[in-house]
Amino acid sequence: EEEEEATLRELRIFLREICAKLARNRTFYIFTKPVDEEEVPDYREIIKEPMDLESMMTKIDKHEYECAQDFLHDIDLICTNALEYNPDRNPEDKVIRHRACTLRDTAYAYIKAEMDTDFEEKCRGIRDNR
């Protein structure tokens, strides 16, 4: 119905700002674009569902998120992909894993701080009844 569409429009505006704010943070630069298949030929043999912040911005515009929980599920995917593909004790892998955990924790903190729990509940109701 029309009120539900108004709620989802407001959700998309909110999620675009969260996504843009994360993408502006230079700590998260490595998460802003898909891993390049040519630079990393084995990546998609190991990581079955690649995800990145630019792809998430596109998913917002294609109405693929109906609540903040669904958005955070893709943030979690960016994080777990990075932990799984970069598991070693060498300093480069450790930096990537630290940044991945910081991305996840920052996204959860922004949404907790800036999203009304009643609004998220309303979005969950729309999602669960569709």
Ligand X SMILES: O=C(C1CCC1)N1C[C@@H]2C[C@H]3C[C@@H](O)[C@@H](O)[C@]2(C1)O3
Interacting residue ranges for ligand X, rule: CB under 6 A = 30-31, 35, 39-40, 43, 82, 85-86, 96
Nearer to ligand X, 10 or 105 (CB): 105
Residue 36 beta carbon to ligand X: minimum distance, rounded to whole angstroms = 7
Give dist(CA 34, CA 58) in Å, integer.
12
Which of these, 31, 30, 105, lies nearest to 72 by C-alpha position? 105
Nearer to ligand X, 3 or 42 (CB): 42
Outline where DSSP puts E strands in 20-108.
none
Give dist(CA 101, CA 76) in Å, integer.
9
Residue 82 beta carbon to ligand X: minimum distance, rounded to whole angstroms = 4
Residue 32 beta carbon to ligand X: minimum distance, rounded to whole angstroms = 10
